[in-house]
Amino acid sequence: MARSAVLGFPRIGPDRELKAALEGYWSGNMGIAALEETARGVRAHHLGLGGAAGIDVLPVGDFAYYDHVLDVAELFGVIAQRHGGVEARGLPAHFLACRGAQGVSPLEMTKWFDTNYHYMVPEVHDGQSFRVLEDRLAKWVTHLHEARAAGIRCPRPVLLGPFSLIAMSKGATEPLGLIRALAHGYRTVLAALADAGAEEVQLDEPALVLDQTPQAVDAFTTAYSTLLDGAPLKVCLTTYFAAVDNLVLGRVRDLPIAELHVDLVRAPEQLDAVLGSLPDDARLSAGVIDGRNVWATDPDRALDRLDRIAARIGSERLTVASSCSLLHVPYSSARETGLDDELRSWLAFGEEKLSELALLTRAVDASAQERDELLASAREVIASRRASHRTNDEQVRARAAALSPADYARAAPLSDRLAAQTERLGLPPLPTTTIGSFPQTGEIRDARRRRRLGELSEDEYRAFLENQVREVIAEQERLGLDVLVHGEPERNDMVEYFGEQLDGFAFSRFGWVQSYGSRAVKPPILYGDVSRPGPMTVEWWRFAQSQTGRPVKGMLTGPVTILQWSFVRDDQPRQETCLQIALAIADEVSDLEAAGAAIIQIDEAALREGLPLKHAEQADYVRWAIDCFRLTAAAARSETQIHTHMCYSEFEEMIEQIARLDADVISIEASRSDMRLLEAFRDFAYPGQIGPGIYDIHSPRVPSVTELESLIQLAAQRIPARQLWVNPDCGLKTRAWPETREALANLVRAAANTRPAASRS
């Protein structure tokens, strides 16, 4: 008979318990014992959910206080010397790598494949040695014992595999040469897990779905031949997010793995090739439940794939699984009583996905009549969603269909626009600004809560927000920033705020997912065609601009980012949905410009994030994603300056396409990489202006004036100073005011100190 498995759980807690505990610990308001107790409670909750659903194989060791990639790197002694090296012990040293401290920079952070999760980038070097650290190994042993004590039949330790760990790291000139030594470390860990009672282990190798060279595949084969030689437990080789190339599958065929997992939600087309390459007697773990989206599974579509597998290898060699870890979805849609019954019936969050796994596993071996009985309710849900009128708006579809090539282009070339903008704005060399948000203080969050509970009237809440905007404008003027923002106190989230004002979106109350560390976001649920009933930001921009004579940016979130950071409908191509969002944002740009905004920022933080993992699929995505951005700004006049911002994304291979955005100014993250991300601009003469973020806002440390001057100078070595802006690398929402003031004061001072040289260049 088939068995069921889940690859990983969310870890922030159903009520964000871990977030509160982490932030309490970091602030000194909670001790380590209380933090650890909260973490045990979160893990126990996961095991309880899986056990109650009857899932056969449950993950252990997938829990992390901050990031699972970092946990595995530290397990093998990959700890930077500035963070204590292999002698570092305890959570304070661990969090130093995550968050840094005054005078100590944290690890770089970047996107986890094409998701909105961020991981800490391990730092390795040529000749790196690997050493299994017993105190780090204790995490997996402890979590295994917890599961055994809870009565879990098959708890399976989860680790990022050696190939992906090296692929996700930075620093070595010949990283593939490190894999054999690392594989010996994995052998030690597998032996320790077997001694602790594990019968099988899950080694996650998502990097295998990337385009591979023969040399990389050789390195993968070497690593697994080494670690599987005499392995004392069964190894499940786990891939997800895209298809495994035939080059890799050809090598997998000869490896003594017990199970291979593939993602049949993202890449169902790989199934035949996978079945043809499955090692003799190995199980196939079929990822047919979407671990990255919130829609109820179409049981017949999933069973079509499962039936093909069972017919080929027998159901006794089949594992019915989630496509990837459930890290990327919220906990339970049953709690979302604020959603109407029809929409809520279409949803499946983490807990419901466990039930779907159990249901499909039973259905695999059921007779036709039994299957019909088992699937009746699920089939009704799918039929309801397909037939619902609320997913289609003919006016929206007609407007999108009527677009022509002229609708995607600004009227004047970039050089003419920049000249007109320079005359209008009159900014100094190296103009200073911020990315948009200012600290979301406890006072702001409390006012939002009180308004929700009816303790503040709408008039009182608006008066509170107006005062917040006044203070933020005054603070920026005191600091001496050249281009201001209103601080966004009215916005709970840069995507949710817009989704709340657009048709086609719905919102959960408890639908939090982890973005990084203690940072959780609550993505909108994009279920239908998108349109804008009316202006969304104009009133707040107009109020902020009335408080100052300096330019205030209009702040918008771009269509690709809204798409990427929402749970998007899966019943039509993503590009069609993105185009609808772009039309709504274009209307907002026109209204802001009509109100007098001289600068409008359209953030596309997730542009690089959405890039397909396979090179063959990237050109089409880049085309439509950039077209959608261009559509938002096309109608703006030449003297209106359009900015865009891109977060932690390595986009060197996209630099020419990013130029095609035709934004007047782009701002990017470059501080954690010491401006290395700007190397792409050495060989490519970017035509617009650039703000390379020089202040890393994801760490509480305050950079010195000298450090910031150095980063500006490094940037000027790659980009002409006349094109440079000076700004943080992202919004300041998560920071506290004292550090924000000090850091921005240093940033303004560094820009002022560097301007004389910039003026001469």
Any idea what DSSP says for residue 455? Answer: S
Any idea what DSSP says for residue 557? Answer: E
Token pair of 541 as six digits: 């921009």
Instruction: Tell me the residue type at 153.
Output: R
Whether residue 328 contacts residue 359, with contact meaning beta carbons closer than 8 Å, is answered with no
Whether residue 729 contacts residue 695, with contact meaning beta carbons closer than 8 Å, is answered with yes
Q: Dihedrals φ, ψ of 318, to 5°?
A: -110, 130
Q: What sign has the CA pseudo-torsion 60, 64, 69, 73? A: negative
Distance in angstroms (rounded) separating the CA atoms of residues 65 and 95: 9
Distance in angstroms (rounded) separating the CA atoms of residues 360 and 380: 16
User: What is the bridge-based pairing of β-strands 109-111 and 513-516?
Assistant: unpaired
Contacts of 83 (CB under 8 A, 6+ apart): 93, 96, 97, 104, 107
Expressed in percent and rounded to 5, the helix, strand and coil fractions of the chain are 50, 15, 35
Phi/psi region, residue 736 (left: phi>0; alpha: psi -120 to 50; beta: rest), is beta
Instruction: Tell me the residue type at 136.
Output: R
Residue 133, SS3? coil
Contacts of 195 (CB under 8 A, 6+ apart): none
**Residue 259: strand pairing partners:** 236, 283
Whether residue 334 contacts residue 352, with contact meaning beta carbons closer than 8 Å, is answered with yes
Q: Dihedrals φ, ψ of 579, to 5°?
A: -65, -40
Query: Which of 246, 446, 420, 324 has its CA nearest to residue 68?
Result: 324
| Sheet-wide strand order for 554-557 | 554-557, 599-603, 641-646, 665-669, 689-693
The rounded Cα 364 to chain-centroid distance in angstroms is 34
> Quick one: angle between helices 90-99 and 68-75, nearest 10?
120
Cα angle for residues 700, 704, 705 (degrees, 5° grid)? 140
Whether residue 410 contacts residue 634, with contact meaning beta carbons closer than 8 Å, is answered with yes
Q: Catalytic site residues?
A: 698
Contacts of 656 (CB under 8 A, 6+ apart): 684
Token pair of 620 as six digits: 């089409």
